[in-house]
Structure 1
Amino acid sequence: SLVFALYDGLRLATLLVCVGAANALANPHRLLKSLPGALYELGVAVVVALTFAPHLIADVQRLRAARRLRGRPDTGVRGLLQVGLPVLEGALERSVALAAAMDARGYGRTAEVPTAVRRTTSALTLGGLLGVCAGTYGLLTAEGGTYGVPVLLAGLAAALAGLRLGGRRTPRTRYRPDRWTARSLLVAGSGVAVAAALFLAGTTDPAALQPGVVPLVAPALPLRPAAAVLLGLLPAFLAPAPKELSS
């Protein structure tokens, strides 16, 4: 049981490392510009949340340092309340100011869309998501090997069509859109190649990616999945240098 828990912990740690690396290296503003119109409002909310998180941490550190300089405790329930309330007040003030600024710039305004288009968009999006869930479940079970891939592809097609129609509700223009260069295509292709290679390895030889614990044996190194994981290191050398903002 300890070895099984260790394997699960390593999987979770790997996921956290991948998400943390993507969050540290990716530019949320450029990602927001690349989102389709149907997901633009959701993307704005996520970017605002990611932008506010560092400010909250900085406020907590600043208030705790100020209390220590004044000789007041910054730990315990009382210290937590006296630090948390000013942080919450500052966050609310920034939220109100940001909401007013975004409203003045036209964020949140939508175009008029016919009722038939709205209903079609909702049906395609909901049906596509259900198809993706059913197809994914079929791929994960032994009985769904025959219908998993077709249902998943049909669900993806319906969801993409729904997102395409939903983009009409949020018309917007793009100032200086990002161009996909050869390096950008190679970075995106390396991620797709890693996902496809690991998926094929999991379907052809699932035991290689899941070392046994009963009986306890030393895990072997599967060469093909290991080579596929090494493809994920290519963006470290192929990714274009980030653009520096001129002051």
Structure 2
Amino acid sequence: MRSGDALLRRAGRPPAPQSTDQVRTPDRLHPGAWWLWALALGAAATRTTNPLLLALLLTTSAYVVLTCRPHTPWARGYSAFLHLALAVLLIRLLFVVALGSPVPGTHVILTLPEVPLPDWAQGIRLGGKVTAEGVLFALYDGLRLAALLVCVGAANALAGPSRLLKSLPGALYEAGVAAVVALTFAPHLIADVQRLRAARRLRGRPDSGLRGLLQVALPVLEGALERSVALAAAMDARGYGRTAEVPAAVRRTTTALTLGGLLGVCAGTYGLLTAVGGVYGLPLLLAGLLAALAGLRLGGRRSPRTRYRPDRWTPRGCLVAGSGIAVAALLFAAASTDPAGLRPGVVPLTAPTLPLWPAAAILVGLLPAFLAPAPRQEQPS
């Protein structure tokens, strides 16, 4: 191919331009596949408080992120979500130590001075006895929330929100832009702080401590304001918020389908989460999803957009998304068949055990590490 282009240049003829399919990165998965995989793992984390299963879930997501994440600025934001998850866990434990726990316990770890409260604050206490049962209950509950946050961070690291925005239907474009701006705030902020700290170290100035923090904060704030102004100008230049004329009947049908579909999804999800609604929950959820998708399809007519080099769904992308959905489905099934294994009790105080087939189901989430391509240097789109 290169020799043919060279011959064309010698003859004075420019080489033929490459098609869009040739320019598109062939090994890049659809961003929706990564987000479905990560959110499905997060949904699986909500079904258990077993610390062994949650640790296995965290290890699975971390291994896939380290194996498959690209060399892009937003991929470095995964460590920020890890720190946020650790902070949430520590705050949850601090609350149970300071405010007590509703779980009764007999194994007292320590006794803090208790502050007397008025009668209208009954049920709340400050200080007092801290039991091992209450601390373990808070640890299990906080670890579940931390796993959910780490899964969202994995989705943000594996597929940038800006790529996901290109794949959203037109009806969700405005809401998608707001979500993308919110999700990319932390990665950009971390990149700015790292860049400024490296520049201060090269100049021989302090980059840690209170003085270094204060001197880095002002340039970071200035960069954030400049980026906001540039984003607003780019959105205005690209016609953000413009809509097309559609008939009134189409607008009413779109509203009815979207609203009815969302209500069906909420009712179906509630039915699946309750014991008495298992019969009607799944059909109502599927009907709501179909109605909501039809409403979004019609609503996309109001915001016509073109996509430059759109991402395509491939068999590997479907397998990646399916592996996460399989983990969530198997954990949902295990929660109804073996609730004691997925939600270990703390009263009486016993050590949690590792249920075998739920643990094997979580290992299905490792499939993207073998299906996804090796990370390569690429420019953010």
Q: TM exceeds 0.5?
A: yes
Structure 1 residues 101-112: aligned runs within 5 Å? 101-112=234-245
1:10 counterpart SS class: helix
Structure 2 residue 276 is the aligned partner of structure 1 residue 123: no
Name the counterpart of 1:38: 171
Deviation at 1:86, TM superposition (A): 6.0
Give the distance between the partners of 2:259 and 2:321, measured in 1 at CA. Answer: 27
The Cα offsets for residues 202-247 of structure 1, whole Å up to 9 and x where unpaired, read as 222222211122222232222221111000011111113456437x
Name the counterpart of 2:9: none
Name the counterpart of 1:146: 279
Structure 2 residue 332 is the aligned partner of structure 1 residue 199: yes
The Cα offsets for residues 107-129 of structure 1, whole Å up to 9 and x where unpaired, read as 32221122221222122212222
Structure 1 residues 18-57: aligned runs within 5 Å? 18-57=151-190
- Larger-gyration structure (1/2): 2
Unpaired runs of at least 5, structure 1: none
Give the distance between the partners of 2:147 and 2:371, measured in 1 at CA. Answer: 22
Structure 2 residue 285 is the aligned partner of structure 1 residue 161: no
1:217 counterpart SS class: coil
TM-aligned CA distance change 1:182 to 1:138, over 3 Å: closer
Deviation at 1:190, TM superposition (A): 0.7
Name the counterpart of 2:100: none
Q: How many residues align?
A: 243
TM-score between both structures, scaled by the size of structure 2: 0.56
Between the two structures, name the one with larger relative contact order (CA 8 Å, sep ≥ 6).
2
Name the counterpart of 2:348: 215
Structure 2 residue 150 is the aligned partner of structure 1 residue 8: no
Which amino acid in 1 is paired with 2:233?
A: A
Of all paired residues, the percent bearing the same amino acid is: 81
Structure 1 residues 55-134: aligned runs within 5 Å? 55-59=188-192, 62=196, 75=210, 87-134=220-267
TM-score between both structures, scaled by the size of structure 1: 0.83
The Cα offsets for residues 156-193 of structure 1, whole Å up to 9 and x where unpaired, read as 12211111111111111222222333322221111121
Give the distance between the partners of 2:136 and 2:275, measured in 1 at CA. Answer: 26
TM-aligned CA distance change 1:30 to 1:93, over 3 Å: closer
Unpaired runs of at least 5, structure 2: 1-133
Check the 8 A contact 1:74/1:83 in 2, yes or no.
no
Deviation at 1:58, TM superposition (A): 4.9
1:234 counterpart SS class: helix
Check the 8 A contact 1:184/1:240 in 2, yes or no.
no
- Given candidates 372, 378, 381, the residue that maps to 1:239 is 372
Give the distance between the partners of 2:283 and 2:376, measured in 1 at CA. Answer: 41
Name the counterpart of 1:17: 150
Deviation at 1:144, TM superposition (A): 1.8
